[in-house]
Chains A and B, each alone.
Chain A
Amino acid sequence: MSERRPIGVHAVLIASSLAMVAPFVWQVITSLKTLSSATAVPPSLLPEGRWDNYAKVFELLPFGDQFLNTVLMAAGRVAGQVLFCSMAAYAFARLRFPGKNVLFVVFLSVLMVPPQLFVIPQYQIMSSLGWLNSLQAIIVPGLFSAFGVFLLRQFFLGLPREIEEAARLDGAGPVRIYWSIMLPLARPGLVALSVLVLLWAWNDLFWPLVVNTDPDKMTLSAGLAALQGQYQTDYPVLMAGSLIASLPVIAVFVFLQRQFIQGVAHTGSKG
C-alpha cells in the first residue's frame, strides 16, 4: 500500500488510549499512597509503596471469603451454563420434536424481559428455601440462560452435518453424538460463552447485593460497595480494594484476549 505514514491517526489513537488507561494508572498510584499525600494539592505523580493499604482492605472486609464466594459463583454459573445451555442448544439445532419452534420462542422471550422483573419473585424463592446468604442463592438462578442457548444454537447450526450423519449410521444415539461429536466441535462457542458468563458473573452487582447481605457471604462487588459506604473518604484503601477486586477478570482478559473479543463480537453478530 503506497500510503503516507498515518501519523495523525496514531496521534489520535494514542491520545484516546491514554484517556482510557490513565484512570487505572491513577488508581494504582493512589492505592500506594498515604491518605495525606493522596489529598495533597498539587498531587505528587509518584506512588509511595504503601502496600499496607492492601493489607487494610483485608482487615476492613472479609475479603478472602468474598473473593472465594465470587470465584465459586462464577465457576458454578460457567459450568452450569456450558452444560445446560449446550444440551438445549443441541436439541434446538439438531433434534426433531413436536413444539420445538414454540418452545424456542418461549426461551427467547426471556431475553426480551429486563432482568429487574425477575428479582422480587426470585428473592422470595430464595427466602422460602432458606437460601438467603448462601452460595446457592448467587449460583442457582445463574445456571440457566436463554442467551447461552441462543448463542450455542447458532454455533451448532454452523457445524457440518457429515460427521454426525456418519456417527448416526454407525449407530450412535443423540447422547453420544452430543457428547463426543458436537461438544468438541463447538469448543470455540463454549469458550466464548464461558468468557462472557465469567465476565458478567464476576461483575454482577444487583442480585448478589440483594440476596447475600452478610459480609462473609457477599461477593466482591457487593463487598466493595459496602466498603465504599463505610470508608467514603479513605481513597487509597478504596483504590486498593477496587483494584484487587477487578484485577482477576482483567488478568483473564489479558491472557484470553482473542476469545474475549470474539465472545463479545458474537453478542453483536445476530443484530
Chain B
Amino acid sequence: MTTTAETRTAPAAHAAKRRRPRTEALWGYAFIAPTGLGLAVFYLWPVLQTAYFSFTEWGAFGGHTWTGLDNYVRLLGDPEVGQAVLNTLLYTVLGLAGIPLAIVFAALLNRPGLGGVSVYRTAFFLPVVTMPVAVAMLWRWLYNGDYGLVNQVLAVVGIDGPNWIADPATAMYALVVVGVWSSVGYNLIIFLAGMQAIPRELYEAAAIDGAGRVRQFFRITLPMLSPTAFFISIVSVIGSLQLFDLVFVMTGSGQSARANPAYSRLQTVVQLFYERAFVTNDRGYAAAIVIALLVLIAALTIAQFRLQRKWVHYV
C-alpha cells in the first residue's frame, strides 16, 4: 500500500508515480483531520449557533424560543449597551497612544552599539508575560485612593490624588495606563524586528547626505516602519475591543461591582456579554451582544484597511 513497499524498477516506479497522488491525498486528509474536526466542532459550528441564538430568547430552564429581531431591537435601545460600547471605544482609541510610545522605545533600543539592550528588553517585556489577573490586582492596589503607591508618591509633591479606579472622572484613563503599560513590551518587540529589517545602506546614504539621527528617524525609520505600525494598530484595536480581564478584576462583577461609582464608566462590551451569558443566563441577548461586537470589530478593521493608503508605505 504505502510507498515504502515500492521496488525501484522502472515500471513499478512509474506506476507508483501515478498512484502517489491518491495515497498522498488520503494522507493529507488524515493529517488535517484532528485539527479540522476540532475546529469544526468547537469553533466553526459554534459561530453559526451563536448567530442563531442571537434570534432567540432563553427560558429559566435552558430552553429557547425564536424571537426574530427582538434581541437586536432591545440592544439598540439599551443604555447599558450604549455606554459599554462608548467605554470600549474610548479605551481602544486612547490605547493607540501606546504605539508611538513603543516606536520611540524601539528606536532608542535599536541604536547601533547600545549596551544593556537585553536588560531593557526584559524589563519592558515583563508585564507582557504576567497574568492579566495579577496585573489588575497589582494596579488596583497601586491606584488605591488612601494607601496606593501612586497617591503616596503624588503626596510627596503636594498633590492629593483621586481614588483612581473608583472615580468616574479618572477611571478610564487609569485603566488605559495599565493597558499601555502591559502591552508596550509586545509592540516594542515587533517594532524592533521591523527596524532590524530596514537596510543599513539607507541610513548610510542619508548620513552621507548630512541627515542627522532625528531626520533619519522621520525620513527613513518611520516610513519604512509604517507596515509594521499598521499591523500593530489592527491587532491592538481588535484586542482592545475585547477587553475583559483587567476590568473584570478591577471592578469585579455583580452587586459588589456596582458599588463602584465608576463601574458604568468602565464596563466593557465583553464584560456585559459575560454578565448576560453566565450571570443572568440571558444567553440569547448575550449572543446578540457578541454578534454586535463582531460587527464593530469588522467595521473598524475594514476602516483601517481603507485608511492605510493614506499613511502606510509599501516598498
- Bitwise interface map of B from 142 to 172 toward A, beta carbon under 8 Å scored 1, else 0: 1010110100100100000000000000000
B175 to chain A, nearest CB (A): 15
Q: How many residues of A contact B (CB 8 A)?
A: 103
Instruction: Evaluate contact between B49 and A120: CB separation under 8 angstroms.
Output: yes
The 14 listed contacts between A and B (C-beta, < 8 Å) are A1-B112, A41-B147, A106-B44, A113-B43, A114-B238, A114-B290, A114-B293, A118-B47, A118-B50, A144-B39, A149-B35, A205-B133, A228-B249, A242-B137
* CB-defined contacts of A225 to chain B, threshold 8 Å: 133, 248-249
Complex: how many Å from CA A185 to CA B291?
Answer: 42
Q: Judge whether B138 is part of the interface by a CB distance below 8 angstroms.
A: yes
Which A residue sits closest to B45, measured CB to CB? A121
B104 to chain A, nearest CB (A): 9
B55 to chain A, nearest CB (A): 13
Complex: how many Å from CA A18 to CA B25?
Answer: 56
Which B residue sits closest to A173, measured CB to CB? B2
A208 to chain B, nearest CB (A): 11
Complex: how many Å from CA A35 to CA B274?
Answer: 33
Q: Judge whether A105 is part of the interface by a CB distance below 8 angstroms.
A: no
Instruction: Evaluate contact between A20 and B185: CB separation under 8 angstroms.
Output: yes
Complex: how many Å from CA A115 to CA B238?
Answer: 11
Interface residues of B in 231-246 (CB under 8 A from A): 231-232, 234-235, 238, 241-242, 244-245
- Bitwise interface map of B from 126 to 148 toward A, beta carbon under 8 Å scored 1, else 0: 11111111100111111010110
> Quick check: which of A46-54, A157-165, A186-194, A258-266 contacts chain B, the rest being far away?
A258-266
* CB-defined contacts of B241 to chain A, threshold 8 Å: 114
Known: A91-B32, A107-B36. 14 other contacts (CB 8 A): A19-B181, A95-B24, A100-B28, A110-B39, A118-B42, A120-B277, A122-B46, A141-B42, A144-B43, A172-B3, A175-B27, A178-B31, A245-B134, A271-B190
Instruction: Evaluate contact between A205 and B132: CB separation under 8 angstroms.
Output: yes
Instruction: Evaluate contact between A13 and B186: CB separation under 8 angstroms.
Output: no
- Bitwise interface map of B from 1 to 24 toward A, beta carbon under 8 Å scored 1, else 0: 011111000000000000001011
Instruction: Evaluate contact between A88 and B126: CB separation under 8 angstroms.
Output: no
Instruction: Evaluate contact between A20 and B126: CB separation under 8 angstroms.
Output: yes
B237 to chain A, nearest CB (A): 12
Q: Which of B23, B35, B118, B155 contacts A144 (CB 8 A)?
A: B35
- Bitwise interface map of A from 241 to 271 toward B, beta carbon under 8 Å scored 1, else 0: 1110110011001100100110011011101
Q: Which of B2, B23, B138, B146 contacts A23 (CB 8 A)?
A: B138
Complex: how many Å from CA A119 to CA B126?
Answer: 29
- Bitwise interface map of B from 290 to 311 toward A, beta carbon under 8 Å scored 1, else 0: 1101100100000000000000
Q: Judge whether B94 is part of the interface by a CB distance below 8 angstroms.
A: no
Q: Judge whether B217 is part of the interface by a CB distance below 8 angstroms.
A: no
Q: Judge whether A155 is part of the interface by a CB distance below 8 angstroms.
A: no
Which residues from chain A sit less than 8 Å from chain B, CB to CB? 1, 3, 6, 9-10, 12-13, 16-21, 23-24, 26-27, 30, 38-43, 83-85, 87-88, 90-92, 95-98, 100, 103, 106-107, 109-110, 113-123, 125, 140-141, 143-146, 149, 168, 171-176, 178, 199, 202-203, 205-206, 210, 220-221, 224-225, 228-229, 232, 235, 238-239, 241-243, 245-246, 249-250, 253-254, 257, 260-261, 264-265, 267-269, 271
B312 to chain A, nearest CB (A): 11
Complex: how many Å from CA A18 to CA B137?
Answer: 19
* CB-defined contacts of B50 to chain A, threshold 8 Å: 117-118, 120-121
Interface residues of B in 267-307 (CB under 8 A from A): 270, 273-274, 277-278, 283, 286-287, 290-291, 293-294, 297
Instruction: Evaluate contact between B152 and A205: CB separation under 8 angstroms.
Output: no
Q: Judge whether B193 is part of the interface by a CB distance below 8 angstroms.
A: yes
Instruction: Evaluate contact between A203 and B132: CB separation under 8 angstroms.
Output: yes
Which A residue sits closest to B49, measured CB to CB? A121
A157 to chain B, nearest CB (A): 15
Instruction: Evaluate contact between B138 and A253: CB separation under 8 angstroms.
Output: no
Complex: how many Å from CA A250 to CA B126?
Answer: 7
Complex: how many Å from CA A20 to CA B132?
Answer: 15
Instruction: Evaluate contact between B119 and A17: CB separation under 8 angstroms.
Output: yes
Instruction: Evaluate contact between A228 and B137: CB separation under 8 angstroms.
Output: yes
* CB-defined contacts of A269 to chain B, threshold 8 Å: 193
